[in-house]
């Protein structure tokens, strides 16, 4: 059986790696895209012919500094995710926890390979996949935090099948709408110069209203469900979607200005870099929260809605169903 001290340590390690992932590769990656600095180096894994650790990073120009910092951050998270797998196998015997940790390492490795392929092949479509795949990696890290948290194995399930179905439907609908919005945002950041993706430029801002509406539906569906997990998810989604909508308006303002009001956007200004990058990061956090919501909905289903022996633990990859 797992020792409480070991479970607490593993949970803290999962939190640490997720926080560093958000602060380092995710944030620097968003800045790289905002600056269009993804191809400032034409080689990989070296940088201008230098070994990754030998490149004069601190004395480099702005774009080189950010891009090489992104590469170093990815390497750090890769090593930490490997240590996470080792720690999980030592500290936790639950198969689904080990499986999620191993999947995180595999996803981090795949993300690194996608970044390298984007540089070596110089493909904007790979830049899009690389940027969007970060949300999957980070969501897996958040799932590990959830399933190693105190009280998760003793969680109270929903008492009504009708409530469970209602909340699950709203959660899945919200995840689908957020995923569509996130991908369209990726089109705008990576492929906005291509005419065939001009539709995303027109739809993305207005589709935010759909996301807000579906978020409201989910919040209403949670009302009366009597689950602290779902209540926390609902509160977080309200905060993130509202914040993301406001940041989206600010992004439009600093990126395109308002010509009819005489406001002209200043390209590569500090406000533009910060706000546009923040829009990407908060979007990732919103999508991650939606993924956690779906996991919670599955994990909180009444036992009598499951045809399997309730004593048997048979978790999915996300550790959602027990």
For residue range 58-108, list pLDDT tens digits in order: 999 999 999 999 999 999 999 999 999 999 999 998 999 999 999 999 999
Q: How far apart are CA 204 and CA 19, in angstroms?
A: 28
SS3 53: coil
Answering whether pTM is above 0.75, one says yes
Q: Which stretch of 41-55, 96-110, 303-317 has the lowest confidence by average pLDDT? A: 303-317
* Helix locations, 148-227, DSSP H: 161-191, 198-222
Place of tokens 């539906």: 217
Query: Both ends of the chain: CA-CA distance in Å?
Result: 17
Q: How far apart are CA 159 and CA 303, in angstroms?
A: 9
- Would you say residue 207 has pLDDT above 50? yes
Place of tokens 């720690």: 87
Q: Are 251 and 276 in contact (CB under 8 A)?
A: yes
């Amino acid at each position: 059986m797992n020792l409480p001290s070991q479970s607490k340590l593993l949970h803290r390690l999962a939190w640490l790696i997720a926080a560093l992932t958000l602060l380092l590769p995710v944030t620097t990656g968003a800045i790289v895209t905002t600056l269009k600095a993804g191809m400032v180096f034409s080689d990989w894994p070296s940088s201008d012919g230098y070994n990754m650790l030998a490149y004069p990073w601190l004395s480099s120009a702005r774009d080189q500094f950010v891009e090489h910092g992104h590469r170093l951050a990815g390497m750090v998270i890769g090593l930490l995710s490997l240590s996470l797998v080792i720690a999980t196998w030592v500290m936790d015997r639950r198969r689904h926890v080990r499986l999620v940790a191993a999947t995180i390492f595999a996803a981090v490795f795949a993300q690194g390979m996608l970044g390298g392929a984007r540089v070596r092949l110089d493909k904007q479509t790979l830049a899009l996949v690389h940027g969007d795949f970060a949300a999957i990696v980070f969501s897996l890290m958040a799932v590990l935090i959830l399933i190693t948290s105190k009280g998760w194995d003793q969680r109270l399930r929903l008492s009504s099948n009708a409530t469970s179905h209602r909340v699950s439907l709203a959660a899945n609908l919200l995840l689908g709408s957020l995923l569509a919005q996130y991908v369209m945002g990726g089109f705008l950041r990576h492929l906005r110069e291509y005419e065939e993706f001009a539709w995303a430029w027109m739809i993305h801002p207005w589709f935010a209203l759909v996301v807000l509406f579906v978020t409201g539906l989910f919040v209403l569906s949670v009302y009366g469900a009597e689950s602290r997990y779902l209540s926390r998810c609902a509160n977080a989604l309200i905060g993130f979607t509202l914040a993301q909508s406001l940041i989206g308006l600010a992004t439009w303002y600093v990126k395109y200005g308002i010509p009819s009001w005489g406001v002209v956007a200043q390209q590569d200004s500090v406000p533009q870099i910060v706000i546009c990058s923040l829009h990407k990061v908060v979007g990732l956090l919103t999508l991650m929260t939606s993924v956690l919501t779906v996991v919670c909905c599955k994990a909180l289903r009444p036992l009598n809605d499951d045809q399997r022996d309730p004593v048997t633990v048979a978790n999915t990859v996300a550790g959602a169903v027990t």
